[in-house]
Amino acid sequence: MQAFDLYAILPELVLLVVACLLLVISVYIRENHIATPGIEQDVFHTPRAVSFVYFFTIILLGYLTFAYISRISDDSLVAMNGLFQSDPLSNLLKACSCAAVLVSLIYSKQYLKDRSLFRPDFIVLALLALLGQMVLISGANLLTLYLGLELMALPTYALVAMRHSSEKSVEAAIKYFILGALASGFLLYGMSMLYGVTGSLDLIEIFKVVADPRVNHLVMAFGLVFIVAGLAFKLGVVPFHMWVPDVYQGAPTAVTLLIAAAPKIAAFALLFRLLINTLLPLMGDWQPMLVILALLSLIVGNVTAIAQTNLKRMLAYSAIAQMGFVLLGMLSVFDDHAFSASVFYAITYVLTTLGTFGLLMILSRKGYDCETLDGLKGLNKIHPWYAFIGLIMMFSLAGIPPTVGFAAKLGVLEALVDAEHTFLAVIAVIASLIGAFYYLRVVKVMYFDEPEHEMTVSGSGFAKAILGLNGLLVLVIGIVPASLMTICLDAMRRTLLGS
């Protein structure tokens, strides 16, 4: 191992070592009080142990976020004998993923405590899923990409099933696991076809072979179909969306947030690595597939969400439609503005998702989950500040100015028009208008309906402050989006030049 190899993977090594140490150390942390005779003490789940693990996890995630931000200006490099790549785009995406998990855990603390889920194993599983995202985002080899994907998925299956007393959670975990295994099989089969044709697992070598006109195009196209199917499942787009509503609804809201936020960034990175960095010469084959997936996701996601009264199911169908917009940004090949628009969209979607689910957890309490439209009735009359945050989040998801969602959608639409995909842009606008109905319905319930039950706010003062900052960021970045757009564009350009 060379010095630059160690430098490239140092944050991932720190994350892995600390996660393992926290899991082991938590077993040996005992309570100060004397155990009650005749009652067996669960030493693994003591309050002191979980507080220790949580405290160091917050510090770790804060360190990783700033470490990756400091690396955004670094040049691209390929390390670990071609298995791992560190470039401006990967560092930007990893910084966002770490920040998303950090904020998710801050929002989730009181929610998990009230449901006896605030445990060291929950936090460590979240860290291991994050590690999988880090490996996936920086994968320079088919093997690395697949290992990162599975490392991200397996802890997530366990997190969904952690509330084992709930039939919905267990059912959601089984569905997620079975469909996830099926999608991984599709992706692995497609990768095996690529290896069979090219004789290499390295993304750069595969690109060179695929660009050769003498390559067996039929086998490549067959493998591409399986790869796109696997990618579509990880993004949760139609017709590979069956797991999304059930998992969003069945999992505890804290776990839903861990699934809905950071993994979307990793899935986008996987899409970019495979289709743009590796299979760009086959764009004539994969572009029509992306068009179909994007249009179906926009239409089915927005139309189906109208019928939902459960907020988590509604947000699940909303996520399907939002990922359709991300796919549209990948259609303008050789246009770094379009690719950066997709990056900007993915990042801002995660920011809005954090605030939306954070609000639901803040409004939940012991014995009650704020998951339905009725749970938000009259929120403005009791907690006007939280109603305002909810309004900002709904406006952003709907793409209404001056929120960041408007800037994100506008960037993708501009890229489509510049690439002469005007018809797709029109369909996307119509789908967004349909989607505005169910987002504005939530605002109507919060501001114009009468409250039907007691509304208490849970969570620490720190979590409430972060939620307020989250809402203000969605508003401020929407008013002044140029800085984040410039960062995304610069990272994309330097990554494409270095690849």
Query: Which of the 8 DSSP states describes residue 84?
Result: E
- Element of type H or E holding 79: strand 77-79
The type of residue at 440 is L
Q: 0.85 cut: is pTM over it?
A: yes
Judged by average pLDDT, the poorest of 26-35, 79-88, 359-368, 461-470 is 26-35
Query: What is the tens place of the pLDDT at every residue in 272-320?
Result: 888 888 888 888 888 899 999 999 999 999 999 998 889 999 999 999 9
Q: Which two tokens stand for residue 305?
A: 């969400």
Question: How many domains does the structure of the chain reveal?
Answer: 1
H-helix or E-strand containing 455? none
pLDDT tens-digit profile of 179-227?
888 888 999 999 999 898 888 898 888 888 888 877 777 888 888 899 9
Contacts 24+ apart (CB under 8 A), 170-179: 171/246, 171/250, 172/246, 172/247, 172/249, 172/250, 172/251, 173/250, 173/251, 175/242, 175/243, 175/246, 175/247, 176/243, 176/246, 176/247, 179/233, 179/242, 179/243
Query: Which tens digits make up the pLDDT trace of 372-391?
Result: 888 888 888 888 999 999 99
Nearest alpha-carbon partner for 249 in 194, 175, 336: 175
The reported pLDDT for the residue numbered 104 is 94
In this prediction, residue 368 carries a pLDDT of 81
Q: Please name the residue that has the structure tokens 């009791």.
A: 382
In tens, the pLDDT along 406-459 reads: 999 998 888 888 888 889 889 999 999 998 999 999 999 999 988 877 777 887
Question: Which pLDDT value is given to residue 36?
Answer: 47
By the 8 A CB rule, do 458 and 362 touch? yes
Contact 322/255 with Cβ under 8 angstroms? no
pLDDT tens string 17-51: 999 999 888 888 776 544 444 444 444 456 788 88
| DSSP letter (8 states) at residue 210 | H
Q: What domain range is 141 assigned to?
A: 3-498
DSSP 372: B
Give the three-class secondary structure for 77: strand
User: Sorting pLDDT into bands at 50, 70 and 90, what band is 103?
Assistant: very high
